[in-house]
Amino acid sequence: MLNPFIPTKMKQKVIDRFIRYIRVETTSDPKSGLHPSTPSQLDFSRKLAEELKQIGLSNVTVDDNAYVMATLPSNIEKTVPVVGFVAHVDTSPDFSGKNVNPLFVENYNGEKIVLNKELEIELDPKLFPELLNYKGQTLITTDGTTLLSADDKAGLAEIVTAMEYLIANPEIPHGEVKVGFTPDEEIGEGANYFDVEKFGAQFAYTMDGGEIGELEFENFNAAGAKIKINGRIVHPGFAKNKMKNSLLIAQQLLNMLPANEVPQHTDGFEGFYHLMEMNGKVEECNMEFIIRDHNRAIFEHRKEIIQGIVTQLNIQYGEGTVELDLKDQYYNMLEKIEPVKYIVDIAEQAMIDCGISPKIKAIRGGTDGARLSYMGLPCPNIFAGGHNFHGKYEFVPVESMQKAVEVILKIIERVQNVK
């Protein structure tokens, strides 16, 4: 039976490891067409592989696509399920992850936190009331100019620290454990070249959730829609019955979508259409949407609505005016998790054992685990501890990272009881 509370020196190790990781820029790029999408991810993955070798893991590999895999061999005689833990090395392209300069706020007092006095950037509990849940704890924040990279370098640090703890304490019994690190999760390509058979786990957990206690095994069904609108430019003084303004057609398209079914007006199990990017001139306009819904039937209906709008506009303005490239990205993992629901129960009880109140909820997004579940590796998602991902207001409580390490260790212990 392992000690449910890791020693202070291990707490410091997860902090030091996290700080070391976030200082390495690994932003992914959705437009590069490469895999990994940026060379910095491969460099970082190679460094992680060397670190896994140094702490004593076996069968450590890193391929040219930046996937890292390693094994902690079993030290018990009986056969138990092989469990895996997965995190991603990239950070979001939504905000700069270069030159991250973390700030430490010790014994947080519940007041505003000045991230950058010169730029007048503050973490205010009036805007971010979740801050008040961490009074008295140590917070790691940004300096107001970059994201923090807790998504998902907190997960990386927690997994490596947990493995190091078990290797340093060989008297703790455990079955075989697999570790996997992926690139490009933030641009939806994290599972593209993941070799499930090589990984060799029967099930796994992504350490890629938010606040302490999060346990997720439902997520959005997701699609991406790229729309090109072909206009016609003529001199505006002689444009009557000739000009076809692609920008105005784009505006018309937006007005044909349900106005309140956008991210800023939805939560819980409510889906949405999200305009990610729009640029153009009279002659050509390009739009990029993401389409999300937890319910598969409603998800399919949302795609039909987009297709129907495109059809209507082409009838109105002429065939070929609006071109649609609509592709599914991932699906709700619930369908694949329900038959093996016991793996969720293991994680839930592990949190309870560690003094954490589980917060079971649906992900308003996706993880590598969603796609991996459909590839034959059931993979619920567990908290890594961070808040306000993908921006300058991101922070992570040190105590949450410590608890995540404890949960990993407790899951490994509980897997030994699976029959």
Is 120 noted as a catalytic residue in this protein? Answer: no
The tens digit of pLDDT for each residue in 322-372 reads 999 999 999 999 999 999 999 999 999 999 999 999 999 888 887 889 999
pTM of the predicted model, to two decimals? 0.88
Residue 239's pLDDT is what? 93
Residues 368 and 323 placed together within one structural domain of the fold: no
Asked if pLDDT for residue 141 goes beyond 50, the answer is yes
Residues 104 and 225 placed together within one structural domain of the fold: no
Is 90 noted as a catalytic residue in this protein? Answer: yes
| Annotated active-site residue in 25, 122, 184, 185 | 185
Mean pLDDT of 91-98: 95
Task: Work out the angle at residue 7's Cα, subtended by the Cα atoms of residues 4 and 9, and round it to the nearest 5 degrees.
Answer: 150
Q: Which domain holds residue 387?
A: 8-219+332-415
Percent of the chain with pLDDT over 90: 93
Residues 264 and 278 placed together within one structural domain of the fold: yes
Asked if pLDDT for residue 397 goes beyond 70, the answer is yes
User: Which of the listed residues 311, 330, 349 is the one where a domain comes to its end?
Assistant: 330
Report which DSSP code applies to 359. E
- HEC string of 367-382 equals CHHHHHHHCCCCCCEE
- pLDDT grade for 1, boundaries at 50, 70 and 90: very low
Residue 363's pLDDT is what? 87
Quickly count: other Cβ atoms within 10 Å of residue 135's Cβ.
12
| Annotated active-site residue in 25, 51, 90, 261 | 90
Residues 342 and 320 placed together within one structural domain of the fold: no
User: Which of the listed residues 290, 305, 330 is the one where a domain comes to its end?
Assistant: 330
Mean pLDDT of 211-230: 96
The tens digit of pLDDT for each residue in 301-315 reads 999 999 999 999 999
Query: What is the chain's mean pLDDT, rounded?
Result: 95
Mean pLDDT of 401-419: 95
The label of the residue with tokens 């291990």 reads 10
Asked if pLDDT for residue 4 goes beyond 50, the answer is no
- pLDDT grade for 7, boundaries at 50, 70 and 90: low
Report which DSSP code applies to 56. T
The tens digit of pLDDT for each residue in 41-66 reads 999 999 999 999 999 999 999 999 99
Q: How many domains does the chain have?
A: 2
